[in-house]
Structure 1
């Protein structure tokens, strides 16, 4: 940013605007996250007598990178979606095809090891980009792994977030999951990225940490290192402030810290406020903020890092430990959501041209082998047993359900395993269009707004360029949810939302107005959601929903709903 531009911003005339990603506000000095490493040297060539030794350095370097990523993914309390990607990326670091290509470069041409990895990765990146769609979006993961292995070989620090010496506002082009895995609230006051959308890894982690965030913020690259800025995660604005402004979280923007008991609107309409969790630490935080239970227990973390299927007894014990902090409360567990960006090694799933639209979620067990079927049945039995051990009321649901037939098959298997309350995830638009038949098969449904949005708009939710389409305020998405809730009302079927949309207090009001009966989000987001619902009557929620449904675009929907009080 030019000096003139900075002065204009300091005068308050040119605030930067992006997509609101995590509510709250904070003031702090900018710390810029460095861009990835540049190209490593192409020469001099490795002498013939040293090529074997130099080639042999590549695999250990990749293994070290993979181990670090795996360790980051296994940290207690890490945002589950970020952990999933870290596990997947750790396996990418040791991809035999990539390592073989790099090693061959050293042996055959004397290419220095770091350069060999760089050039080998370039071939994979080009192939992914040429494939387009979902595969093209994975090219960035290869680049992240490449830079980490190159740094290991060169003996320089890996790319990523620098050491924060004090409370700071992190500004970056984008943040990889490995970049964000070590952030701590209080030191990382807020996050601002030029790319990404409201369901990106950065946004999800920020909400989990309770850190304000603005993503897709064009012009953020012009913010100077050390410049004092105020980030408003609810409004989606970033603006410089006077040097004398106090650094820290904006207490005026901070809300309640607990849910405060069963939540109702001012006229007594009941809304369940529940949490998204993946492990015992999450459950403890959920209990600590007063969550009424769990609306989404992600179960795939146990499987993503396993070379073989975890033993049923180990699964049962793990689920019991995870659920134990919430004894006496309802826990809704999603069965294994494998495939796409969540590869499970022991399932030996065949490569697909477009995994996001392929055999993933429940389809793995409907379309897979008999061995795959056994995995689901053993997981269901472990969940039922673990819930009994923990003293919670278990509800189970399947991901990636598109038809009533798929729902019926899952319900039968879940009941055979001893589950009493069985539902499905609504993530595919066809499930809404066929809701009347599907709802007749289940006890409840839960909407995964992240996937439902990306499938509705044919827009990868990890694509920064498509962040606007993946905004959960899009009227087309809200109209789809309205249709689902109207059908559910006819059969008195409960409808929950467990996607990141439920973490936005203003959007939560709209969801209640549409007829959603439970809202599930990261524990840190729940108190603000509960307070917003408790401050309005049901008719106000319905007016907000009506205003959003009638809006022409996401920005107008957000503004219209906020105008109803």
Structure 2
């Protein structure tokens, strides 16, 4: 038995038989030709045909990913298509062809340069190099006439090992057949790792060179929680892992002291509703509607949005579904809306600012669909309870304006004789401004939902995608904890409840702290719902309050982490 350490990407465990995936072994480039023997016109035609074939394959992969894991995760393939059409890459390849380089050599040389540039950046930007590799390999497979391994048809119980997996590789995998994944390189925020989590495939990435010593056919255990790959695990290790796994809890849970905590799921599309229900989610705490606006040439109509929301309500007939109104702008551009380029889009026009500004018509159409869906569920009693929240609130006037639009839309529907209902209405707390005015927001709204990813970014003035300041982006910093506490304390004694839908909510190691801080609801990736529910049941409410008080008294994040043992 031998343990290899890496980065746990999906907090699940699986046991199976190793199969190595080595696509690079099939991509053997021919020897470099005498430039005078190369026909540039013919090679340009081959390159153009390869781009067309790769584009079609990328779009097929996107459709498969959207069906399996949701539109948000599938959006990575839009970036792949942009790489395929990147003017600098295309022009450089064509320039190399012009001086007598065969198309496959020109593609490999130029993409290798670009990949090296990304890898030199380290961190998350280095992980984007995998996206470039994906595009390069698609082009080379066409140019070399090489068929790829059918990753969608692997034997049951396969643990797939690879130097790295690209997003399209991972999206092909059948989660019923693949018991786990382990890679030599990669990080938790790489697109392939994100897709593996969405598919609920146990995964450990970044194991390093020792992984190459594991042979085909070996039995291994993939511990995605502990970040370990165990080769030839003994019975004790297998039993221990089985004991660590959290079983699905379908009923709602309370702390040991009897305080009810709602444990919901974040979803980015209809494909994620079923898995969320199967893992015992108490409804949906964040239904991202942006996926309806991606990969199309015009925005979705009222009826399309209505049908999508009623499907979500039907999937959770006894629970609440919280829909976030469209949150575009910032890092979520939508080309057909012709949004202006901004120097710092995270501090620009996004979320509710766009909905109340230049795209008010789009906002009203969405609200009509939402109010109709709320009326449908209320009248027919065949769907759950709808709630709606507004993103990127930073001024009380924005909340009031949004409420006025809801009131106006409801009046129009009433005049038209259209069945509707006004759902619970809330605001995302993602900015320090929202946290510091939470008392006024709680007076006007039914609930608040803390988005810790953006809240941490804005409190710490640290771009969540910038590795140069990644050390600052820590939700356990005392300033972030105090912003959370400020929000829950402000709502205490009012009729408004407070939830959390950021990544922080899905970490079982932080559940006691969050309950102590006064959260009523926690919403997370569906794969972590069972573990958080299990943890909630173990928590003593009074002890959680004491822990939160100690954390809030800390002056540094190191003190907080020492307190939590994190």
Give 1:310's aligned residue: 300
RMSD (CA atoms)? 4.2
Cα distance between partner residues in 2 of 1:356 and 1:513: 31
Give 1:383's aligned residue: 370
Q: TM-score, normalised by structure 2?
A: 0.79
Give 2:417's aligned residue: none
Q: Where in structure 2 are the equivalents of 1:7-406 lying within 5 Å? A: 10=2, 16-31=4-19, 34=22, 43=33, 45=35, 46-48=38-40, 50-51=42-43, 53-76=45-68, 78-79=69-70, 81-86=72-77, 88-93=78-83, 95=85, 97=87, 101=91, 104-105=94-95, 108-118=98-108, 141-157=131-147, 164-171=154-161, 175-192=165-182, 201=191, 204-214=194-204, 221=211, 224-226=214-216, 228-242=219-233, 250-260=241-251, 262-352=252-342, 355-366=345-356, 369=358, 372-390=359-377, 391-406=383-398
Which of 504, 528, 531 matches 2:507?
504
CA 1:82/1:413 → structure 2, altered by over 3 Å: closer, same or farther? same
1:551 CA drift (Å): 6.8
Q: Where in structure 2 are the equivalents of 1:394-543 lying within 5 Å? A: 394-418=386-410, 419-457=422-460, 461=464, 472-473=475-476, 477-489=480-492, 491=494, 493-543=496-546
Cα distance between partner residues in 2 of 1:479 and 1:160: 50
CA 1:192/1:495 → structure 2, altered by over 3 Å: closer, same or farther? farther
Match of 1:258, SS?
Answer: coil
CA 1:417/1:155 → structure 2, altered by over 3 Å: closer, same or farther? farther
Cα distance between partner residues in 1 of 2:394 and 2:531: 33
Segment of structure 1 superposing worse, 325-334 or 21-30: 21-30
Q: Structure 2 stretches of 5 or more lacking a match?
A: 378-382, 411-421
Cα distance between partner residues in 2 of 1:466 and 1:162: 38
Q: Is the CA contact 1:58–1:103 (under 8 Å) kept in the aligned structure 2?
A: no
1:271 CA drift (Å): 1.3
CA 1:141/1:22 → structure 2, altered by over 3 Å: closer, same or farther? closer
Q: Is the CA contact 1:54–1:106 (under 8 Å) kept in the aligned structure 2?
A: no
Cα distance between partner residues in 2 of 1:120 and 1:179: 22
Q: Structure 1 stretches of 5 or more lacking a match?
A: 1-8
1:52 CA drift (Å): 5.4
Segment of structure 1 superposing worse, 93-102 or 320-329: 93-102
1:274 CA drift (Å): 1.8
Cα deviation digits, residues 109-161 of structure 1 (max 9, x gap)? 45433344456657877998999999887565344333333333332356996
1:442 CA drift (Å): 3.4
Match of 2:364, SS?
Answer: helix
Cα distance between partner residues in 1 of 2:457 and 2:183: 20
CA 1:230/1:356 → structure 2, altered by over 3 Å: closer, same or farther? farther
CA 1:135/1:188 → structure 2, altered by over 3 Å: closer, same or farther? closer
Cα distance between partner residues in 2 of 1:199 and 1:414: 37
Cα distance between partner residues in 2 of 1:19 and 1:355: 31
